[in-house]
Amino acid sequence: MQLKEFVTIRIGKNGVTDSAIAEIKKNLDKKNNVKVKLLKNFTETSDKRKAVRDLVLSVKREGLYHKAVGNTLLLEFEKK
């Protein structure tokens, strides 16, 4: 079994910004996977479920798999 190495993007008190979305898209193109961590100062002031939904919709691409676990969102392309 091969362990995957994810690029980690952290979302803090500024929330989901255009630059964060651009960084996620860039790393998806480059590495095919990204881990997005919603930091404590974000989850205290914002709706986590809405943020995850907005993130997935903003980077939606064919074959993109996403899974939310706790305060972490995993995005990766499914293997064919």
Q: What is the pTM of this model?
A: 0.83
Task: Tokens for 65, please give them.
Answer: 């798999």
pLDDT in tens, 17-72: 999 999 999 999 898 899 999 999 887 878 888 888 888 899 888 889 999 999 99
Within 13 Å and on the Cβ side, how many CA atoms surround 33?
11
The closest of 38, 27, 36, 41 to 77, measured between CA atoms, is 27
Residue 75 near residue 64, CB atoms below 8 Å: yes
Q: Which domains, from first to last, does the chain contain?
A: 7-77 (3.30.110.60)
Residue 19: beta bridge partners? Answer: none
